[in-house]
């Protein structure tokens, strides 16, 4: 994959001060010992989570979904059996937002609680599926009447 010198640079949303954003994002990234990677555009973070069983995977997803409702923020994600792939990005205003970073941290905490299985090769797990679904889903975060969002 890409080396550190070719790694994307984070692109933060206009509502997230860069100094605070860098401080909060840095420990989550693989390059600093975390598990998340920046997407190619730098406007989001993504990673795969693996659990022992489908039931544990579903428990994890339900926990994340409940917090998404509280935060009024959702990921692009996919699930196959015991693996869930999650991408956090914000469409309006575009870039990594404080909610993205907070939810990535929340996912890490809940994954530990649900018994995440540490997987050394997470490349591609669910990423292609999430990519396709994100394209088909359209611009979900643009208020109706202010963009090309599909109903």
Structural class in CATH, domain 12-137: alpha beta
Mean pLDDT in residue range 87-112: 97
Residue with tokens 């598990």: 35
Q: Whole-model pTM?
A: 0.79
Does the pLDDT value for residue 136 go beyond 60?
no
- Measured CA to CA, the distance from residue 26 to residue 101 in angstroms comes to 10
Structure tokens at 27: 């420990």
What is the residue extent of each domain of the chain? Answer: 12-137
Q: Report the pLDDT value the prediction gives residue 6, as an integer from 0 to 100.
A: 76
Q: Report the pLDDT value the prediction gives residue 1, as an integer from 0 to 100.
A: 38
Residue with tokens 């970073």: 101
Encode pLDDT of 117-128 as tens digits: 987 555 555 666
Q: Confidence class of residue 150 from pLDDT cuts 50, 70 and 90?
A: very low
Encode pLDDT of 18-58 as tens digits: 999 999 999 999 999 999 999 999 999 999 999 999 999 99
Q: Report the pLDDT value the prediction gives residue 76, as an integer from 0 to 100.
A: 95
């Amino acid at each position: 994959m890409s080396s550190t010198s070719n790694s994307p640079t984070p692109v933060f949303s206009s509502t997230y001060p860069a100094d605070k954003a860098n401080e909060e994002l840095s420990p989550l990234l693989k390059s600093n010992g975390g598990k998340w990677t920046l997407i190619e555009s730098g406007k989001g973070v993504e990673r795969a989570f693996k659990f022992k069983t489908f039931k544990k995977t579903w428990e994890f997803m339900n926990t994340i979904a409940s917090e998404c409702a509280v935060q009024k923020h959702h990921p692009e994600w996919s699930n196959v059996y015991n693996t869930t792939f999650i991408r956090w990005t914000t469409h309006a205003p575009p870039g990594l937002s404080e909610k993205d970073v907070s939810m990535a941290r929340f996912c890490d905490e809940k994954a530990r609680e649900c018994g995440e299985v540490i997987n050394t090769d997470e490349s591609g797990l669910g990423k292609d599926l999430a990519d396709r679904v994100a394209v088909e889903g359209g611009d979900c975060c643009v208020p109706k009447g202010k963009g090309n969002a599909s109903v």
